[in-house]
Amino acid sequence: PDGLVYTFHLRAGVPWVKYDAKTKQVVKVKNGEGKDRMVTAQDFEYGILRTLDPKTASDYAYVLTYVISNAFQFNSGEITDTAKVGVKAIDDATLRITFLEPVVYNLNIAGMWVCHAQPSWLIEEKKDRWTETGNQQSYGPFTLKEWIHDSSLTLVKNPFWPADMPNIPQSKIDEVTFSMLDSTPAFAEFEAGNLDVAGIPLSDVDRVKADPKLSKQVENVPAMGTEFYAFNVKKAPLDDVRVRRALSYAIDRKSLIDNIVKGQGEPAPWFCRPGAAACPTPDKYPNLGIKYDPAKSKSELDAYLKEKNLTADKLNLTLTYNTTEGNKKIAEAIAAMWKEILGLNVKITNMERKVFYAQRTSDPNMQIMRSSWVQDYQDANNFDKEVFSTGGAFMDITRWSDSKFDEMCATAAKEQDPAKRMELYSQADQYLVVEQAVIAPLYWYSGLVIYQPHVKHTPSVTGYDWFEKWDISK
């Protein structure tokens, strides 16, 4: 009733399972007494506490530290007594979670993977290798068959998953293999008949759309995410908001979608992706955010240059992206816009993905960085607060912390009225992308996905696929 304490009642009879390579079957996991291990509330308690344990060093622990009682204190090492954290297994079938505030997204976070049950007995034995082939134990419609790092991952149907589980049915597909390929080789494998589903590389989009056969197999699939460029607000000349605004105003987002991304997205004047709860929508907020405006762009930069007694050619700016064909084309197109509108010669550099992601946070000299965010749960809080507020996911990338923005997000999180809540997040986004110009939003995600004719897929509103709801025609 107070919106703080939630009690969850687990369904009985859901076993832990694993794939047995010898018998080539999925089998139930046994405990020390030879009995089936069933998923219990204690497994969920263990999973949440392990996520929060500073020894685990979970990248996603911060999501829970924002909402669960004493989660931040435990994760930061301020307290070590897990009994003080707001998660408790009352008995095998009852879990209680105590939240910090009565906000509408508490249940969304409780359903995230960071709150899933974890097998304590297995983790204690196998340590960091508990998810490897032959070790992993799980529950759900699939379990792991094989994981060949940087190559492929294969899931198999769990025959012991309850057939009448609401909204999560038993899979109709026996096996799903993910090939870890870049878009170009993956699409080549699709055309060779070796993959059932693939994205379409930008260089092939026009050809596929013009092909009478392939074009009928394509769908534009929405995804709850945003592509943007992050600015390091501590690195000159980006430490001046006028420079950041000038760069953002100079980006023709519609041209980017039409000519570079080939229709795979929607121009984004602000960060929070419409469709997530409380995110502003273009129909209700047509004038929100930052849009292509060459005159404003030049005015902002000219004011800065006059004050500093500089010319545009004297500004040293570098744009860095993780290496992909699409990121390269986008970077080149935007650098050309900056050259045309502002007379800037922006240097473009690229890095391998892992190196780039590590360096964005560790290198204080990086300036403009290709960035993206895809929702973890469908709420504006997962965009604005958890990405850009103090302690958020991108604080170490932008080097930006602002108490006013923090308070705006905190107020919006507590608001119960949907319309008022959306208005509050619209104000937060305006502050983020225009008044402070911490980022240059580019586009909201959607992607062209091509399917073999025998694939019967259920579209996902989140952009995440639920293969237990798919089928293969005979």
Contact (Cβ atoms closer than 8 angstroms) between residue 51 and residue 64: yes
Q: Which of 326, 322, 325, 348 is nearest to 335 (CA)?
A: 348
**Model pLDDT, residue 368:** 98
pLDDT tens by residue, 323-338: 988 899 999 999 999 9
**Model pLDDT, residue 366:** 97
Contact (Cβ atoms closer than 8 angstroms) between residue 82 and residue 74: yes
**Model pLDDT, residue 327:** 95
**Model pLDDT, residue 179:** 97
Contact (Cβ atoms closer than 8 angstroms) between residue 365 and residue 336: no
In angstroms, the Cα distances linking 83 to 43, 70, 71 are 15, 10, 11
For the cut 80, the answer to whether the pLDDT of residue 42 exceeds it is: yes
Report the share of the chain in percent with pLDDT over 70.
Answer: 100
Strand pairing category for 318-322 and 347-351: parallel
Chain centroid to CA 359: 19
**Model pLDDT, residue 132:** 97
For the cut 80, the answer to whether the pLDDT of residue 10 exceeds it is: yes
pLDDT tens by residue, 133-189: 999 999 999 999 999 999 999 999 999 999 998 889 999 999 999 999 988 999 999
**Model pLDDT, residue 221:** 87
Predicted TM-score (pTM) above 0.85? yes
Q: Report how far residue 55's alpha carbon sits from residue 428's, in angstroms, rounded to the nearest whole number.
A: 34
For the cut 90, the answer to whether the pLDDT of residue 388 exceeds it is: yes
Q: What is the mean pLDDT of the chain?
A: 95
241-249 helix and 294-308 helix, angle to the nearest 10 degrees: 150
Q: What is the mean pLDDT of residues 56-65?
A: 92
For the cut 90, the answer to whether the pLDDT of residue 252 exceeds it is: yes
**Model pLDDT, residue 277:** 95
For the cut 80, the answer to whether the pLDDT of residue 1 exceeds it is: no
- pLDDT confidence tier of residue 207, bands split at 50, 70 and 90: very high
Q: What is the mean pLDDT of residues 99-113?
A: 93
Q: Report how far residue 101's alpha carbon sits from residue 72's, in angstroms, rounded to the nearest whole number.
A: 14
pLDDT tens by residue, 260-279: 998 889 999 999 999 999 99
**Model pLDDT, residue 69:** 98
For the cut 80, the answer to whether the pLDDT of residue 424 exceeds it is: yes
For the cut 80, the answer to whether the pLDDT of residue 462 exceeds it is: no
- pLDDT confidence tier of residue 58, bands split at 50, 70 and 90: very high
**Model pLDDT, residue 463:** 72
Q: Of residues 62 and 85, which shows the higher confidence score? A: 85
**Model pLDDT, residue 34:** 96
**Model pLDDT, residue 447:** 86
For the cut 90, the answer to whether the pLDDT of residue 3 exceeds it is: no
**Model pLDDT, residue 222:** 84
Query: For 51, how many CA atoms within 13 A lie in the half-sphere containing its CB?
Result: 25
Between the two ends of the chain, the Cα-to-Cα distance in Å is 50
- pLDDT confidence tier of residue 372, bands split at 50, 70 and 90: very high
Q: Report how far residue 338's alpha carbon sits from residue 264's, in angstroms, rounded to the nearest whole number.
A: 22
For 174-213, b/e burial (b = at least 16 CB within 10 A) is: eebeeeebebbebbeebeeeebbbbbbbbebbeebeeeee
| Range 181-188 contact pairs with CB under 8 angstroms and sequence separation of 24 or more | 182/324, 182/325, 183/324, 183/325, 183/326, 184/325, 187/450
For the cut 90, the answer to whether the pLDDT of residue 459 exceeds it is: no
